[in-house]
Amino acid sequence: VQLQASGGGLVQAGGSLRLSCAASGRTFSSYAMGWFRQAPGKEREFVAAISWSGGSTYYEDSLKGRFTISRDNAKNTLYLQMNSLKFEDTAVYYCAATRGASWTPGAMNYWGKGTLVTVSS
């Protein structure tokens, strides 16, 4: 499966952005999907994940309540709604797919190119 993230940009602190991840192929619905981010000088970290059906979601604890992951299998698209953005949310955001049940970066099978989110303070 090929993935392409989009929707990043410059936003003021307190604002919102919605990221999208378009997937090619007819097997999108068979993959669990995740969002990760990597800030300058830092390692890539887990943000959120969603099961293949969309019935289960998982979040990095500090992001619960501000970020919402969702998917539309009919459109082969993954989303990340980000609200109340903070300066420290500035990073390149990546979408990824896995057939496993682990959300570590090393466990993901496919990665999209990232989209840059910059939050101004």
For residue 7, the SS3 value is coil
User: What tens digit of pLDDT does each residue of 63-72 get?
Assistant: 999 999 999 9
Burial group, residue 97, by CB count within 10 angstroms (0-12, 13-18, 19+): buried
The one-letter amino acid at 7: G
Calculate the dihedral angle through the C-alpha atoms of 83, 104, 43, 14, rounding to the nearest 10 degrees. 0
User: What tens digit of pLDDT does each residue of 69-112 get?
Assistant: 999 999 999 999 999 999 999 999 999 999 988 899 999 999 99
